[in-house]
């Protein structure tokens, strides 16, 4: 059925339009905000649909509308710059989280705001960060946000928008698409033009823009491509209107009238009447980006060059009003090296200040393409700036390459101080890329260059960076000596960054060694970093809190994890956020929250760049979930983790993999020794007390030699349970909320009572392989009245659901909440939550709706 008439200009969109109106009325009624994600192919009619909605909705205030730029390097926060009430905030250098706060404040003062963000597939990372922040809080914001994007341009899972689409979940997020027009709709449009509708549909695929362009032709032919249709339509215009099209085509997203020469504006009225251009706030623009691209690509090279030069002259005539990103864009197109070298770095600084670090890196790359004639020192400066921006955006190899080239320039001109500083920074970059030996070598070389100036700021920075290398390889004596020296020099010279970095190194080291006072240094480091706006070091504080707390199970610090994920996301620190997510996955695993652990680990694997440490931590968590559940084979993921750790000589890499593989081997009845050998020797050398305790206990459980070296006192609870007090150790594990570790301690009990307690806990947690091991040990002692765990009815259920879980699942299918289910079954809400979590795990799904669908498919409920 064709919805709407051909005369209305909008066909087959009544369903989407109705959804938009329904959502908007809910916002106006005070039921919270919504985000509408509207996808479709280029020319699919997304803008036409939103414009119709704007025209029809009874908005209490004007709809705010902004679009992302199709520039080679987009302007930071481009769509919000087009919304005048927020441009002031951006002009004062607001970060994404500050802009989001300003938008929320504005909306709450005047609720019912419709806000449209177009073409998110071109968005800079700062814009995506703002939308992410608004989306996460949308339930409390009385606004309707409509975001359009080309679905065919975000198929790559590493596209920045793809990550955002994965993050935005929940009943406040509405996902819609615009499909191509049906043959019936195209025939309805073609009829009024006396055209063959079926042939038209075959030629255009139902794309509304293509259909419109073809019908705009008077010759009755169906062109082979949309390019032919656009050029044929443009060919009917006079020379003056054609000149306007040419000029506007090189100034995306729109052309201010001041940028057009007088000769180019003479045919403006004709171009507007012909429907090729439209008036927009501040200037004129093509009605569709595909048409603009077609005209731009049809320009001869010399004509395109002249136009860019003309726009550039107009922009530079009023430099105070000029946007650095646009100036740099047109300067590059015009081949003006001098202007590029002046304005691209300005654009990079502007982007970095806005939190758009990926765009900042691209602007520095643009400047470097024109830097052949620069002095080596100036070129090195650009390279070092680009390296930093790449570092912040997970472009690790590019960051390393830029810094290595900068070092060559510094060395060429004999700049020992600059070379040493760059080598010191390079040690950090190399570590992040997994180049451990190279990182240590770079750090040592930096210290050597500063031998004759051992008390200056550069030496202080080199010391703290080398202390970080020592920390990462867990060489505690070196880390303490270098870190303490760097902290003293940093405080002496007033070097905030050195103080922040050194406090982090020393505090993390203490926490890893089981010394709780280390958290004070980490808190001070974080506070100073926040005061000074040292974003990298803010993220580093959260990463190291996650590393140390998961190493020694100090989960009274767990609030750092959620705070860290939010803070790193707000600051646009994607790599840092993924590290915190990886540690949060381990935290959830240790507390028995398998679904949450799996969700965090899978997000790391899906969205993070292929950094070995990140990936192997996530794989270790997934492998343990599989091994403990006994439903899925853990070895494929654990083998990949082992391969990623191969050749590494750091406990950060080796310990998570070795302990996961050893536990999986024990659960499968295989020897654990081969999985622990290399890690055991390294832990002894590093005197890593916690790691040694964990490895020794796994050996004890597998009845293999576990003697720890003399002179290395192990940490609690491992010291207690290895000494034979498994009940006391289990109690200490429970105080840490680590129920599975408590059961593991009791699994080594010498008495029946301890083994029975371990079995009960394993059965409660659903860890069947461990329960089976303890059951065999009880039987070997002659015990006969052993609890069977899941009843036969449960074992016969296709998903091994208990009777109560089937009952709860049936109510989930009816759409009842946990509170409603608890009331219906006379249970506590917490008990219902545990049942729902178990159901999701057993069905292998992550959400309640998926569980209901899977239950229906498999016939699991009456």
Q: Tens digit of pLDDT for each residue in 592-624?
A: 888 889 989 998 988 777 788 999 999 999 999
The whole-number pLDDT of residue 279 equals 87
Q: Which of 454, 489, 513 is where one domain is finished?
A: 454
Q: How far apart are CA 72 and CA 327, in angstroms?
A: 12
Q: How far apart are CA 619 and CA 344, in angstroms?
A: 41
Residue identified by tokens 């867990």 is 474
Range of the domain at 801: 797-858
Do 328 and 208 fall within a single domain? yes
Q: How far apart are CA 377 and CA 129, in angstroms?
A: 34
Residue 164 belongs to domain with CATH number: 3.40.50.300
The answer to whether 714 and 693 have CB atoms below 8 angstroms apart is yes
Q: How far apart are CA 239 and CA 228, in angstroms?
A: 19
Q: Tens digit of pLDDT for each residue in 761-814?
A: 898 888 889 999 999 999 988 887 777 655 444 445 566 777 778 888 888 888
Structural domain count of the chain? 4
Q: Tens digit of pLDDT for each residue in 495-526?
A: 999 999 999 999 999 999 889 999 999 999 99
Rg (C-alpha) for the chain, rounded Å, is: 31
Mean pLDDT of the chain: 86
The whole-number pLDDT of residue 745 equals 93
Question: If 0-12 CB within 10 Å is exposed, 13-18 middle and 19+ buried, where does residue 414 land?
Answer: exposed
The whole-number pLDDT of residue 6 equals 47
Do 39 and 146 fall within a single domain? yes
Return the closest-CA partner of residue 847 out of 165, 136, 170. 170
Q: Which of 411, 430, 454 is where one domain is finished?
A: 454
For the chain, give the number of residues.
862
The whole-number pLDDT of residue 207 equals 81
Do 175 and 189 fall within a single domain? no
Q: Which of 179, 213, 237 is where one domain is finished?
A: 179
Going by C-beta distance under 8 Å and a sequence separation of 6 or more, which residues neighbour residue 839?
A: 801, 805, 808, 809, 812, 851
User: For the chain, which residues score pLDDT lower than 70?
Assistant: 1-9, 58-61, 157, 203, 217-226, 262-264, 454, 706-709, 788-799, 826, 862
Residue 403 belongs to domain with CATH number: 1.25.40.10
Contacts 24+ apart (CB under 8 A), 257-260: 257/283, 257/284, 258/314, 258/318, 259/283, 259/311, 259/314, 259/315, 260/314
Do 198 and 145 fall within a single domain? no
Q: Which residue stretches of 738-828 are H helix? A: 739-746, 752-765, 768-780, 792-796, 803-813, 818-825
* Model confidence pTM above 0.85: no
Q: Does residue 244 lie within any of the structural domains?
A: yes
The whole-number pLDDT of residue 7 equals 47
Do 314 and 396 fall within a single domain? no
The whole-number pLDDT of residue 247 equals 92
Do 24 and 38 fall within a single domain? yes
Return the closest-CA partner of residue 309 out of 325, 332, 292. 332
Residue 777 φ then ψ, to 5° = -65, -40
Going by C-beta distance under 8 Å and a sequence separation of 6 or more, which residues neighbour residue 226?
A: 43, 204, 207, 209, 210, 213, 290, 294
Judged by DSSP in three states, 668 sits in coil
Do 171 and 45 fall within a single domain? yes
What token pair was written down for 861? Answer: 């409920």
Do 94 and 220 fall within a single domain? no
Going by C-beta distance under 8 Å and a sequence separation of 6 or more, which residues neighbour residue 24?
A: 53, 57, 59, 114, 144
Do 278 and 423 fall within a single domain? no
Do 97 and 236 fall within a single domain? no
Do 19 and 166 fall within a single domain? yes
The whole-number pLDDT of residue 796 equals 52
Q: How far apart are CA 642 and CA 663, in angstroms?
A: 14
What token pair was written down for 571? Answer: 């600051």
């Amino acid at each position: 059925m064709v919805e709407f008439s051909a005369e209305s200009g909008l066909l087959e969109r009544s369903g989407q339009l109705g959804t938009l109106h329904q959502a908007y009325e809910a916002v106006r009624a005070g039921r919270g905000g919504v985000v509408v994600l509207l996808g479709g192919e280029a020319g699919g009619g997304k803008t036409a649909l939103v414009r119709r909605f704007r025209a029809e909705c009874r908005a209490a205030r004007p709809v705010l509308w902004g679009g992302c730029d199709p520039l080679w390097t987009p302007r930071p926060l481009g769509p919000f710059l087009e919304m005048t009430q927020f441009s002031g905030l951006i002009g004062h250098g607001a970060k994404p989280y500050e802009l989001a706060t300003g938008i929320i404040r504005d909306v709450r003062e005047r609720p019912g705001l419709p806000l449209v963000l177009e073409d998110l597939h071109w968005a800079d990372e700062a814009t995506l960060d703002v939308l992410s922040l608004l989306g996460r809080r949308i339930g409390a914001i009385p606004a309707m946000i409509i975001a359009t994007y080309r679905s065919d341009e975000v198929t790559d899972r590493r596209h920045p928008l793809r990550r955002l689409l994965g993050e935005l979940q929940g009943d406040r997020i509405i996902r819609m698409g615009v499909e191509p027009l049906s043959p019936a709709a195209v025939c309805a449009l073609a009829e009024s033009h006396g055209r063959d509708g079926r042939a038209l549909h075959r030629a255009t695929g139902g794309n509304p823009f293509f259909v419109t362009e073809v019908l705009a032709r008077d010759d009755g032919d169906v062109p082979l491509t949309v390019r032919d249709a656009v050029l044929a339509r443009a060919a009917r215009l006079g020379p003056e209107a054609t000149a306007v099209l040419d000029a506007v085509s090189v100034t995306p997203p729109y052309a201010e009238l001041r940028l057009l020469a007088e000769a180019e504006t003479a045919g403006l009225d004709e171009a507007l009447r012909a429907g090729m251009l439209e008036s927009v706030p501040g200037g004129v623009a093509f009605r569709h980006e595909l048409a603009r691209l077609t005209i731009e690509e049809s320009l001869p090279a010399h004509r395109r060059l002249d136009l860019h030069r003309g726009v550039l002259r107009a922009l530079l005539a009023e430099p105070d009003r000029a946007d650095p990103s646009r100036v740099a864009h047109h300067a590059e197109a015009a081949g003006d090296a001098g202007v590029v070298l002046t304005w691209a770095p300005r654009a990079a600084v502007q982007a970095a200040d806005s939190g758009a670090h990926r765009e900042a890196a691209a602007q520095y790359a643009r400047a470097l393409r024109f830097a052949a004639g620069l002095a080596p020192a100036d070129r090195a400066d650009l390279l070092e700036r680009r390296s930093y921006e790449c570092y912040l955006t997970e472009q690790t190899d590019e960051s390393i390459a830029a810094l290595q080239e900068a070092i060559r320039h510094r060395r060429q001109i004999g700049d020992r101080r600059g070379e040493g500083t760059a080598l010191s920074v390079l040690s950090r970059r190399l570590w992040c890329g997994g180049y451990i030996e190279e990182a240590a070598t770079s750090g040592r070389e930096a210290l050597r260059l500063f031998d004759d100036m051992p008390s200056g700021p550069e030496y202080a920075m080199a010391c703290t960076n080398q202390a970080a290398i020592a920390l990462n390889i867990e060489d505690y004596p070196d880390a303490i000596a270098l870190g303490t020296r760097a902290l003293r020099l940093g405080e002496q010279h007033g070097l905030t960054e050195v103080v922040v970095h050194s406090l982090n190194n020393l505090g993390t080291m203490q926490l890893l060694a089981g010394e709780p006072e280390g958290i004070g240094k980490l808190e001070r480091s974080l506070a100073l970093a926040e005061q000074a706006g040292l974003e990298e070091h803010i993220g580093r504080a959260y990463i190291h809190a996650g590393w140390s707390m998961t190493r020694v199970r100090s989960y009274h610090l767990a609030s750092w994890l959620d705070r860290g994920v939010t803070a790193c996301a707000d600051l646009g620190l994607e790599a840092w956020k993924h590290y915190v997510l990886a540690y949060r996955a381990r935290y959830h695993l240790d507390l028995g929250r398998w679904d949450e652990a799996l969700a965090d680990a899978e997000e790391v694997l899906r969205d993070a760049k292929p950094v070995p440490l990140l990936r192997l931590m996530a794989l270790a968590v997934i492998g343990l979930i599989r091994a403990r559940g006994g439903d899925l084979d853990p070895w494929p993921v654990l083998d990949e983790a082992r391969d990623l750790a191969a050749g590494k000589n750091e406990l950060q890499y080796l310990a998570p993999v070795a302990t996961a593989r050893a536990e999986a081997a024990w659960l499968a009845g295989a020897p654990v020794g081969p999985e622990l050998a290399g890690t055991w020797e390294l832990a002894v050398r590093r005197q890593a007390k916690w790691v040694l305790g964990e490895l020794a206990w796994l050996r004890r459980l597998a009845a293999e030699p576990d003697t720890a070296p003399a002179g290395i006192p192990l940490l609690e609870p491992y010291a207690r349970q290895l000494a034979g007090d498994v009940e006391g150790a289990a109690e200490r594990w429970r105080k840490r909320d680590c129920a599975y570790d408590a059961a593991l301690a009791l699994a080594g009990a010498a008495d029946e009572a301890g083994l029975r307690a371990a079995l009960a806990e394993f059965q409660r947690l659903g860890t069947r392989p461990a329960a089976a091991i303890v059951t065999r040990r009880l039987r070997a002692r002659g015990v006969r009245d052993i609890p069977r765990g899941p009843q036969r009815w449960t074992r016969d259920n296709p998903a091994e659901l208990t009777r109560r879980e089937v009952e709860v699942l049936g109510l989930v299918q009816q759409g009842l909440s946990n509170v409603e289910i608890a009331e219906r079954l006379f249970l506590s809400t917490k008990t219902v939550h545990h049942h729902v979590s178990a159901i999701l795990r057993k069905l292998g799904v992550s959400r309640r709706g998926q569980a209901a669908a899977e239950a229906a498919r498999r016939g699991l409920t009456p």
